[in-house]
Every structure is written in C-alpha cells, then in structure tokens.
C-alpha cells in the first residue's frame, strides 16, 4: 500500500471518530509527515512510495490516539505560532491562530520597535506571546509569569529555541507574580472560558488541555477582573493593557474597564468580525 492510500484510510478513520473532514485529512497527512520527517513538498513528490512495516506500526499508534481525540499538537509535540515552531506539552495551552491577533495589535500600538520599556506577559503558558514579542520588540524588557512551574519550563525551552531566553525574566506566580511595576505594557491571554462552558468544548480541548489555562470561573471573566485590578496599580502613565477574551465577552470587558482605574477601552475585531482583543490605558489623573 502507498503512503497516500494509508493516509487516506487514516482520514476516513478520523472522520468516523467525529473530526471534521478537512481537518481529518490534514491531520492524517501531518502525522505521516511527522513520522517521515517530510515537509509538504516532499510528501507530494514521495507519497506514492510503499509504506514499510515500521512506519505502519508507528503511524497506526498515532492515528489511534488522534481518533481518541488527542490534539494533533500533543502527538507532534509542536505548533506553529507567528511563523515560529513552539514545543507543546499537555502542561500548556496549545497556541491558537487568534492569539496572533494580539501580537499584531501590540505591534500596531507600538510601531517604534527601538523604543525601550517593560512588558509583562501574564500567564505565559507555552511562552508564545512572550517569545514573539521579545523577537519583535527587542528593546523592551520582557517579564513572563505563570502559576505553573511546568508551563514555565516549556516556555523557557521555547525561548531558548528562538534565541531569546536571556531576554525574558521568568517569574512563577499568579498575575504579575508580585511584580509591582512600573510596567509600560501588560499582555495576556488569560483563562476565559466559563466553568460551565468548558464541559461543552471539543474533547481535544476539554479532555487534554490544561483547565488552569482555560477556566475563567463562573462567568469566564474572573481572571480578567483580577488582572485589570493589578494592571491599574502596576502600569505607568499611558501604559497599556492588551488582552485576549472570548468572542462573547466584549460587554464584560467594557464593564470591567469602566469600573476600574483604567480607561479608553478599545475592542479589536478579528478577520471574521468577532471581538477578540481588548485594549485599555492607565492615565494618571494627578
Ligand atoms: N481560545 C481558547 C478556546 O478556544 C480559550 C483560551 C483561553 O481561555 N484563554 O478554548
């Protein structure tokens, strides 16, 4: 049997397990390429080769795990974010494409890349935000926090891989991890799924990703509220908070900012028009 026929059979099996056809086809191919060490171009020229037994056994094991709805990124151990490969383990949230929108928003707000200052990434997880911003804003001092020591280790490995480990100050703790500022920019993708809604997520997320990174409490906005309160203390005059939130949380975000020491809330929509990123500023009223 050729590799492409083997991939096609795997695709059918993944569809049967409830994965959408487009995703199933891509996942079946990515798992084969992962084992073979092939890029897409190589796959297209070599896929008619026969499978050998060793490949077949290993592929079978990976496809079986995917059919049990383990996330693809846990099987390959990586996920691309902002054009960079990130190591991923079950200790960290898998980087999402929508979070790239947070990076874009920050770069729009700080167009001068040679400007110095301090940036804190709260709840860094895989480190994807901290690493991307350390690369894009090389003049800034970057601090990354997480309550999970295991996540910080993954994040540090990712920073090392991309040559910015020395550039980032890692701190174990919740929110700003005791850092009181002054901070020019606070960024975060906090947990924002309500405790109830977690039960209705896809099994890949619900059963395999860390609830610590997803669970936003009763209304999904508990961590955001706490973060905004700390930001009001730590930000410098004109300092900015840039956060990702759930697409149904625009009103909650605006209310939280209205009741806080921050002002000028702005909501940035993604390409589908969904509210995704919230921006607010601290203005010293003295
Ligand atoms: N975007 C994630 C999801 O789709 C949630 C991430 C978060 O809570 N920060 O489930």
Distance CA 7, CA 66 (A): 13
**Is the dihedral angle over the CA atoms 104, 109, 112, 118 positive or is it negative?**
negative
For 243, counting Cβ atoms within 10 Å of its Cβ (0-12 exposed, 13-18 middle, 19+ buried), the class is: buried
User: 168: Cβ below 6 Å to ligand 1?
Assistant: no
Q: Answer for the pair 122, 145: CB distance below 8 angstroms, yes or no.
A: yes
Q: Answer for the pair 42, 56: CB distance below 8 angstroms, yes or no.
A: no
Report the pLDDT value the prediction gives residue 181, as an integer from 0 to 100.
Answer: 81
CA atoms within 13 A on the CB side of 207: 9
What would the pLDDT profile of 12-30 be if each residue is shown by its tens digit?
999 999 999 999 999 999 9
Report the pLDDT value the prediction gives residue 23, as an integer from 0 to 100.
Answer: 97
How many angstroms is it from 6 CA to the middle of ligand 1? 33
Distance CA 172, CA 178 (A): 9
Which residue of 71, 81, 94, 96 sits with most ligand 1 atoms within 8 Å of its CB, as the best mutation to test the pocket?
A: 96
Report the pLDDT value the prediction gives residue 284, as an integer from 0 to 100.
Answer: 83
Which residue of 188, 193, 222, 244 sits with most ligand 1 atoms within 8 Å of its CB, as the best mutation to test the pocket?
A: 193
User: 179: Cβ below 6 Å to ligand 1?
Assistant: no
Tokens of 33: 């390429």
How many angstroms is it from 2 CA to the middle of ligand 1? 38
User: 188: Cβ below 6 Å to ligand 1?
Assistant: no
How many angstroms is it from 223 CA to the middle of ligand 1? 13
How many angstroms is it from 114 CA to the middle of ligand 1? 32
Q: Answer for the pair 180, 233: CB distance below 8 angstroms, yes or no.
A: yes
Report the pLDDT value the prediction gives residue 180, as an integer from 0 to 100.
Answer: 87
Q: Which of the residues in the chain have pLDDT under 70? A: 286
Class of 79-282 in CATH: alpha beta
């Amino acid at each position: 049997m050729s590799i492409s026929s083997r991939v096609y059979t795997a695709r059918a099996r993944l569809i049967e397990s409830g994965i959408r056809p487009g995703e199933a086809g891509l996942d079946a191919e990515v798992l084969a390429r992962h084992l073979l060490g092939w890029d897409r171009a190589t796959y297209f020229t070599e896929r008619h080769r026969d499978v050998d037994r060793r490949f077949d056994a290993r592929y079978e094991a990976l496809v079986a795990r995917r059919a049990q709805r383990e996330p693809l990124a846990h099987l390959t151990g990586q996920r691309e974010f902002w054009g960079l490969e990130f190591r991923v383990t079950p200790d960290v949230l898998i980087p999402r494409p929508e979070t790239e929108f947070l990076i874009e928003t920050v770069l729009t707000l700080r167009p001068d890349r040679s400007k110095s200052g301090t940036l804190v990434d709260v709840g860094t997880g895989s480190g994807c935000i901290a690493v991307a911003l350390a690369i894009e804003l090389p003049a800034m001092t970057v601090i990354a926090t997480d309550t999970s020591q295991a996540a910080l280790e993954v994040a540090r490995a990712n920073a090392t891989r991309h040559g910015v480990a020395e550039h980032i100050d890692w701190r174990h703790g919740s929110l700003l991890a005791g850092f009181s500022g002054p901070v020019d920019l606070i960024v975060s993708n906090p947990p924002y799924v309500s405790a109830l809604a977690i039960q209705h997520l896809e099994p890949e997320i619900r059963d395999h990703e860390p609830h610590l990174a997803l669970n936003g409490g009763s209304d999904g906005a508990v961590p955001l509220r706490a973060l905004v309160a700390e930001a009001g203390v730590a930000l410098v005059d004109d300092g900015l908070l840039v956060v990702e939130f759930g697409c149904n949380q625009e009103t909650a975000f605006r209310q939280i900012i209205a009741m806080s020491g921050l002002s000028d809330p702005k909501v940035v929509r993604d390409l589908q028009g969904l509210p995704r990123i919230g921006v607010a500023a601290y203005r010293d009223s003295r």
